[in-house]
Structure 1
Amino acid sequence: MKRPETLAQMNAALARFATEHGVEKGLAYRADSTDIFITPYSKCGTTWVSQIAHSLRSDGDMAFDEITDVVPWLELAHDMGRDVNAPQPYRPRLFKSHLPWGVIPEGGRYIVVLRDPVDAMVSLYRFFDGWMFERGAISLEDFAGYYLHRMGREDYWSHASSWWGVRDRDDVLLLAYEHMKRDLVKSVAQVADFMGISDERRRAVAQAQATMDFMKAHGRQFDDHLVRQARDAACGLPPGGEASKVDSGQAGAGRAQVSDAIREAYAGKWRETMGAAHGLESYDDLLTAVKG
């Protein structure tokens, strides 16, 4: 059994990643007002914030096999054999998601991280390379075109626009990945404030456990091995693929890895979407507007 070698084959595998029934079970979840959904777009800081929030609520409890053990993935929980209504070991209940506003169950509280779309695309490419497709079989340039034209819930720009439109709600905390990289202490404090956790020792523990060094040292707990075990066969993928979640994540690094044409295409897409809808002509405009 081989991994996909073309974009069409990769798309066919991805289409089987989550079942329609499983997604429906997640969408049917009735949120409590204290529930927190951590719902950035893919590769925009979901695992990072999940670790921060779980560390804050648990006083740094690392007794989990994979972060999805304690922060279930709303859309995939059923397909992983998990019940989203099952008790969680700590309060508030936390859920991972990649859903936009308007699709995600309402009634809870929401943490969203926005990230430069070129960086997010390159990160997803590296994440899929060797897992969702044979290593090196799909070029970064071809993947960039695929990402640019994703539709529906798989669309970066629709996701970003949906959350930007509700950023001022009291039940939404909107962060920027670049601000998190620049000032982790402040970002942990923002999450703690949103969760109502004032204990300075807990904040210090969460900060220490959210550093890249700490998360790399505990890499297996953040590498999606349980996700792969549950869903690789359904996707037609051979076992044993790599899908590490923790890397340097350097802000702006993606832009240096793509051509001028790709950068301009992404800038044009931004103007057509976030510019037209919200008056943000570039991602840098968004960074200026985010409370960082």
Structure 2
Amino acid sequence: MIALVTDSTACLTQAEARNWNVFLVPHTYRLDGNLYTETFEGENGAYVSVLRNSREKISLQASEEQFYHLFRSLKRNGMEVLCTVLSSRLSGAYSAAITAAKRVGEGIAVVDSQLTAGGLYLLISRIREEIDKKQMSLSEAAALCERLRGRIGVAFSVEHMDALRKSRRIGVVRQSVGSILNRRPVLLLRRGGIISCGLARGWQEKSELLAAQIPHDTERLVVQYYEKKKEAVQFASSLKKKLCVPLILLREIGPVLSIHIGEDALAVSWEEKE
């Protein structure tokens, strides 16, 4: 049996993880000196208000030891492991998992998802489905993961670039991109790095620019939000009408990603048809 391992930015519910045989390695974060552990979707408590009212905001990536102990435990229980975590260009979690896998030995495959958030969720759920349907070997599952990630995209808007610049995760985004005259940056995750796709003024323009990034042959969508659920529901409804997508999930942007992209972000992830 192949167990899947991912990190807590994947916005999985505990029920989904249990049903799909997925094991979560959590990131932690510190707000004004208090340490918190990010966990499953819907189980992070009142992090929105705590995060908004905190001055010190620091995220701490999942460690090599966390991956090592989980990999070793799963292997001792007779399972092979396919691990895919958020993009190596956004976090050191991938490197930590690679090092841990080498310590454990055979039976562990680690693949750079080049994704995060809803994109990572879509990747994990599709991998589980294909592994079970086709009874894949570990090497076949790892190769599938590398192919699937190219069919998945992530776009998001932020209120300003301050949090991203502070996190040093903006990749090739021009330093001049920012909030000017009420224009908000809209960004893409491409090959694991963040790039700019334009500026939008107001909610309508922002939602249209986000929607414009989504291919017409999309079959699944995840819309994510920070606190402003009503806006996210409205956006999801407009996408359903425009694209006739059979499945749209609504999820929160968790505390760790919120620290890095700032508050009031809106994101959409999609999976193209094969």
TM-score, with length taken from structure 2: 0.29
More strand, by proportion: 2
Q: Report which structure shows greater RCO (CA 8 Å, sep ≥6).
A: 1
